[in-house]
Each structure stands twice: as C-alpha cells, then as structure tokens.
Amino acid sequence: MAIDYTVIVVYLLGMLAMGWWGMRRARSKSEFLVAGRRLGPAMYSGTMAAIVLGGASTIGGVGLGYQYGLSGAWMVFTIGLGLLALSVFFSARIARLKVYTVSEMLDLRYGGRAGVISGVVMWAYTLMLAVTSTIAYATIFDVLFDMNRTVAIVLGGSIVVAYSTLGGMWSITLTDMVQFVVKTVGVLLLLLPIAVVKAGGFGEMRDQLPTSYFDPLGIGGETIFTYVLIYTFGMLIGQDIWQRVFTARSDTTAKWGGTVAGTYCLVYALAGAVIGTAAKVLYPKLGSADDAFATIVKDELPVGVRGLVLAAALAAVMSTSSGALIACATVANNDIWSRLRGKVTGGERDEVAGNRAFILIMGVGVIGTAIALNNVVEALTVAYNLLVGGLLVPILGGLLWKRGTVHGALASVIVGGLAVIGLMAGYGILANEPVYYGLLLSLAAYVAVSLATPATDEAVLTAWRERLAGRGAPELVSEPVPAPQ
C-alpha cells in the first residue's frame, strides 16, 4: 500500500499547490468568483464535467449498478441530460448576463426584491450539497488509511477549504481540471476494463446475473421520472452550475463546451453502472451497495493502479465539494450579507478579501455540519427538493414567460419552498411526493399571482433584454482583468 499512499499524498499536495498558484491570479472579484470569465472550451468542458460528477455520481453510481444493473446509470444519466439541456437552450443567455449569482439574475429580470429570499433557498441548497460531498471523505479515507470518520472529514474538508479560500474560482478551476483528468484515467480507462475482465467479460456477467440487470428500465419508471425531475431540472438552476457557466469566455464556449461535458456525463453514467454490475458478479453478497466501489478497488486492482483509482474517487468528491463551497459562500456574501449590510452601512470594501473570508467561514460550517450528519442520501434529497421546489419555476419562468412578475416569483419561492419542507415532514424525506406536489404548488402560485399583479415595468424588461443580448453589463468596463502570469 506504500505506493498507493504515495500517489494519494502527492495528489493532495498538488491540490494545495494549485490553490497557492491560483491565489496569484485572483486579484479582482471577477477573477476570484468566476475566473475572470475567460475559460476556453477545453478548460470549461473539463471543469464543468468535474463539478457535476461528484462522489454521488462515482461511488453512488457504482452502487446503483450493483443494485440494479445497467439501469443504475439513470441517476448520473439524468445529470448529463440536464447539463445538455442547460448548455443547448440556456447557457448562452446566462453567460451574457454577466452576473455572479442566480439571485442577481432574478433581480435583473423582475426588477429587484427577489434576491434575499431566493438567496436563502439557494444558500441552503449549496450548503447541503457541500456537506454531502464532505461526508464522502470518510468513506474514501477509511479505505485508504482506516481513518476515524471525524478525522477523515476534517482532513479532506480542510484541504478543499484551503485551496478554495486561497485562489477562489481560479484555484478551483485548476484543481478541477486535474481532477477531470484523474477521473477519466482512473475510472474510465482503468477501473472499467479491469472490472469487466475480472468479472469474466460481458458474456459471463449475463450468465451470472438475472435478466433484469440488463433491462434499461429495470430501475423503474417512477424512479427515472423522479431523477429527471430532481437532477435534470436541478442542473438547470443550481448556483454551483451557473457559476461555472459564468466562467466561459463567450456564449459559444458555454454552449458547446457544456455540450461536450454533458456527453461525457452520459458515458460516465454507463461506466459506473457497468462497474457496479461487474462488482455484483464478483461480490454477490455485500452488506451495502455503496460498498461496491471501495471493495472492487481494494480487492481487484494492482498496487499503484489502486492508488490512482482511489485518487479518482477523491477527485470526484473534491470537485463537487469545492464547487458547492464557493457557490455557498458567493450566495451568502453577495445575495444575503451584502444586501443586508448595504441597507445599514453601505460603503466600499475589499471584495476579494470579503469573499475569501466567506469561503473560510462557510467551509468551517460545512465541516462541522458534515461531522454532525450521517445520512448522505437524505441530505442530498433535502438539497435538491428545496432547489427544484422553490426556485425552478421563477427561474425558468423569468427566462421563458414575459408576463411573470416579481410578486409571482416571490410567491412561487415561498409557497414551493414551504410546501416541500412540509411535505417532507409528512411523507418522509426520501418520498417522491414532496418534490411533485411542491413543484405544482410553486407553478400555480407563480402563474396566479403574476396574472393578478401588474406586469413588470417595461423599463425593467428593456434592461433585461439588453443584458440578455450581452450589453449594459457594468462589470465589463469597471473591473480590471489582470494579465496572465
């Protein structure tokens, strides 16, 4: 295991070095939060794929393959579909807005007053997303070092907080690009073929497993529909995803780079399901499906390769964790604290230092919450239920329906958010009904209140159309862009 340990330690030290290098580039708010809005297609595609394919997509995707066979790919597959839909239909317009948060977009579209409430919902989503990713460190470090759960969370979380705080989005972009390469090599090029060969090939897998394991719809139609509702639509509106769209240097980069990343997700989804199916042949009686990834890596891979594949799993967790952390801090500072503070004091401040401080504060909070929680699936379900139930309708409504008003948007956020919370308490966190009914109530509130209130002022809509066309963004002329180093 000494070689495996060396691979992991070198990888972790490399992440910290990237954070230090990124700190030299993050000299303005734009550089710190959205990498100066100048990522080209290659870096944009790699980092976008890295942020959406986290520990749940890797460890959880293999676990679903172990439990259901090839149809276990549907969870990650719907993530890829969501990213494709975002890239093809919305990303160009989103990139041209030149904002930092989803709530800023809502304020532009509706003429203000939607930011703080929508910011609180988005903050809750990004916080829980960061927490679930941080909890996953315990599983990986337990396999590597037989480490105590709390120590593992503190170690993994501290590394992510350190490089994210140092360089912001530049550091995260650089580390995500490395993580994308590590995941591609570790999971797709090494673990996938080795797992299939160890299981005796596809013919042997078919002979050993029930036919349901090779049924594309074996996981169930209702489950697939729920995945589409939560993950596909969740990809369209999450701050962590939008903040990556904001890093694209052009709307063309956002559209086609995102399309490449979404296609990569579809391949990754199938790979995880196949690995899980192979693990079912090799270890038919595991205590938990989520143990499939760690077990096949630990028992079937040679020394050195095992370290690289575990580094790939660590990369998957870190990419999602860092993306969710900077999104959480950006929303907390720009959508909540800055607005409340501005009403009282106003004034100038060092925005890079302020955002850096919020990443550190949110990071400590995420680590503490991760230590206190145990159930990753429940925490992730709460996050996506709040996001889709509370924000999907006002965001897509603002992009697609001219008659939507600020009052309709606020009603939609409040009704949808409260409905999801209440229904989760009644039906259970993991039930499908909360997001189904919460989304319908949010839509009803949005349409009814928008039609019952005066239409959005034409001056607001004119300014909105100007921003959608890529004009009228003050940041383009007011904020310095440091020269590449």
**Lowest-pLDDT range of 108-122, 231-245, 386-400, 463-477:** 463-477
Residue 359 lies in a domain: yes
Does the pLDDT at position 182 exceed 70? yes
Does the pLDDT at position 207 exceed 50? yes
Question: Which amino acid appears at position 163 of this protein?
Answer: Y
Q: Residue 39's beta-bridge partner residues?
A: 248
Does the pLDDT at position 31 exceed 60? yes
Q: Degrees (nearest 5) of the Cα angle 287, 141, 302?
A: 80
Mean per-residue pLDDT for 249-266?
A: 93
Residue 344 lies in a domain: no
Domain shared by 177 and 223, yes or no: yes
Domain shared by 321 and 436, yes or no: no
Domain shared by 61 and 135, yes or no: yes
Q: Per-residue confidence at 6, pLDDT binned at 50, 70, 90?
A: confident
Domain shared by 331 and 398, yes or no: no
Nearest residue to 59 via CA among 300, 377, 327: 377
Residue 479 lies in a domain: no
Residue 366 lies in a domain: yes
Domain shared by 200 and 61, yes or no: yes
List of residues 6+ apart from 106 with CB closer than 8 A: 114, 115, 118, 394, 395, 398, 409
Instruction: Print burial letters for 80-115: b (CB count within 10 Å at least 16), e (below 16).
Output: bbbbbbbbeebbbbbbbbbbbbbbbbbbbbbbeebb
To 10 degrees, what angle do helices 406-427 and 433-452 make?
160
User: How much is the pLDDT for 480?
Assistant: 40
Can you tell me the distance from the alpha carbon of 254 to that of 452, in angstroms, rounded to the nearest whole number? Answer: 36
Does the pLDDT at position 361 exceed 80? yes
Please, are residues 205 and 278 in contact by the beta-carbon 8 Å criterion?
A: yes
Tracing tokens 């797992």 back to the chain, one arrives at 195
User: How much is the pLDDT for 3?
Assistant: 78
Residue 443 lies in a domain: yes
Mean per-residue pLDDT for 302-321?
A: 81
Does the pLDDT at position 229 exceed 60? yes
Can you tell me the distance from the alpha carbon of 411 to that of 443, in angstroms, rounded to the nearest whole number? Answer: 10
Does the pLDDT at position 406 exceed 70? yes
Rg for the chain, CA atoms, rounded: 22
> Does 435 or 376 have the greater pLDDT score?
435
Can you tell me the distance from the alpha carbon of 165 to that of 322, in angstroms, rounded to the nearest whole number? Answer: 10
List of residues 6+ apart from 238 with CB closer than 8 A: 102, 125, 126, 129, 327, 387
Residue 478 lies in a domain: no
pLDDT tens digits, residue range 316-344?
A: 788 888 888 999 999 888 888 877 776 54
The CATH number that applies at residue 147 is 1.20.1730.10
Two tokens, residue 45: 């595609």
Q: Residue 248's beta-bridge partner residues?
A: 39
Two tokens, residue 349: 């401040």
Kindly tell me the number of DSSP H helices and DSSP E strands found in the chain: 26, 0
Domain shared by 159 and 95, yes or no: yes
Domain shared by 253 and 380, yes or no: no
Domain shared by 45 and 119, yes or no: yes
Question: Would you put residue 401 in left (φ > 0), alpha (ψ -120 to 50) or beta?
Answer: beta
List of residues 6+ apart from 201 with CB closer than 8 A: none
Share above pLDDT 70 across residues of the chain, in percent, rounded to a whole number:
92
Residue 90 lies in a domain: yes
pLDDT tens digits, residue range 131-160?
A: 888 887 777 777 667 778 888 889 888 988
Domain shared by 251 and 174, yes or no: yes
Domain membership of residue 447 as a residue range: 376-470
Torsion 359-365-366-367 (CA) sign: positive
Domains in the chain, number: 2
Domain shared by 366 and 392, yes or no: no
User: How much is the pLDDT for 198?
Assistant: 93
List of residues 6+ apart from 81 with CB closer than 8 A: 228, 232, 235, 262, 266
> Does 56 or 275 have the greater pLDDT score?
275
Does the pLDDT at position 482 exceed 80? no
Residue 389 lies in a domain: yes
Domain shared by 363 and 419, yes or no: no
Q: Around 362, how many Cα atoms within 13 Å sit in the side-chain half-sphere?
A: 31
pTM of this structure: 0.85
Please, are residues 96 and 472 in contact by the beta-carbon 8 Å criterion?
A: no
Can you tell me the distance from the alpha carbon of 126 to that of 399, in angstroms, rounded to the nearest whole number? Answer: 22
Domain shared by 457 and 365, yes or no: no
Does the pLDDT at position 476 exceed 60? no
Mean per-residue pLDDT for 212-237?
A: 90
User: How much is the pLDDT for 224?
Assistant: 92
Does the pLDDT at position 116 exceed 90? no
